């Protein structure tokens, strides 16, 4: 029975390596940097394929995301300074910070991440400021909440970066509006052809 558990754990580990690479590529926008980050994560996170695979996968995701934010922060330290709020609320095209509020279904998001829309998503992500890119990947791809995302930004960019759940929510809503707009324009261009 132990052999079956380990075999399942090894398959999960392989699937996780692929998932980590996709996450790193979305975060960093550079495939060789993404590969290096996955290799570093696998080397630094102790994973026993015969043990609790779900906890190991979660630990690897957190490590990878925090390391990606740290790399992005080193490339542009100003990019991860939390936005200063003047007390007024920023108006965005959506009222709530989830994919469905922006008119994006989970199936559409899956198609953007791993299907035919992958290149379109990467081009769109390349246009986002680094912090907003990191927030989008954590919220939309991983499904982390605003608090967990703010915590990962603080860990990766340093506690002094000062991210709050509210700031994460605001930037995520802005990103969702931008993505929804991009998808609408893309569909309009396809229809015109």
pLDDT (tens digit per residue) in 89-137: 555 666 666 667 667 777 887 788 887 778 888 999 999 999 999 999 9
Whether pTM exceeds 0.75: yes
Residue 128 neighbours by CB under 8 Å, 6+ apart: 136, 175, 178
Specify the pLDDT at position 30. 93
Reported as a single tens digit per residue, the pLDDT across 68-87 is: 999 999 999 899 988 886 65
Decide: 130 and 120 in contact? Cβ < 8 Å: no
Strand ranges in 18-171 using DSSP code E only, listed in sequence order? none
* Phi/psi of residue 148, nearest 5 degrees: -65, -35
- Is the model more confident about 76 or about 188? 76
Specify the pLDDT at position 126. 94
* The pair of three-digit structure tokens given for residue 80, joined into one six-digit string: 């991860």
Reported as a single tens digit per residue, the pLDDT across 7-65 is: 666 667 678 888 999 999 999 999 999 999 999 998 888 766 676 778 888 889 999 99
Decide: 132 and 174 in contact? Cβ < 8 Å: yes
Q: How many CB atoms lie within 10 A of CB 123?
A: 11
Cα distance between residue 175 and residue 173, in whole Å: 5
Decide: 164 and 82 in contact? Cβ < 8 Å: yes
Specify the pLDDT at position 49. 63
């Amino acid at each position: 029975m132990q052999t079956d558990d380990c075999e399942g754990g090894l398959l999960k580990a392989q699937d996780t390596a692929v998932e980590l690479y996709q996450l790193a590529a979305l975060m960093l926008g550079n495939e060789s940097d993404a590969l290096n980050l996955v290799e570093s994560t696998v080397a630094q996170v102790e994973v026993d394929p015969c043990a609790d695979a779900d906890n190991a996968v979660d630990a690897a995701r957190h490590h990878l995301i925090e390391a990606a934010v740290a790399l992005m922060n080193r490339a542009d330290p100003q990019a991860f300074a939390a936005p200063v709020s003047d007390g007024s609320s920023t108006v965005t095209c959506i009222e709530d910070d989830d994919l469905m509020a922006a008119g994006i279904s989970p199936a559409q998001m899956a198609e953007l991440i791993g299907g035919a829309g992958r290149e379109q998503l990467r081009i769109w992500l390349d246009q986002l400021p680094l912090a907003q890119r990191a927030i989008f990947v954590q919220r939309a791809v991983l499904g982390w909440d605003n608090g967990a995302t703010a915590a990962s930004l603080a860990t990766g960019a340093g506690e002094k970066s000062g991210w709050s759940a509210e700031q994460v929510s605001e930037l995520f809503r802005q990103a969702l509006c931008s993505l929804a707009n991009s998808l609408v324009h893309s569909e309009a261009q396809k229809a015109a052809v």
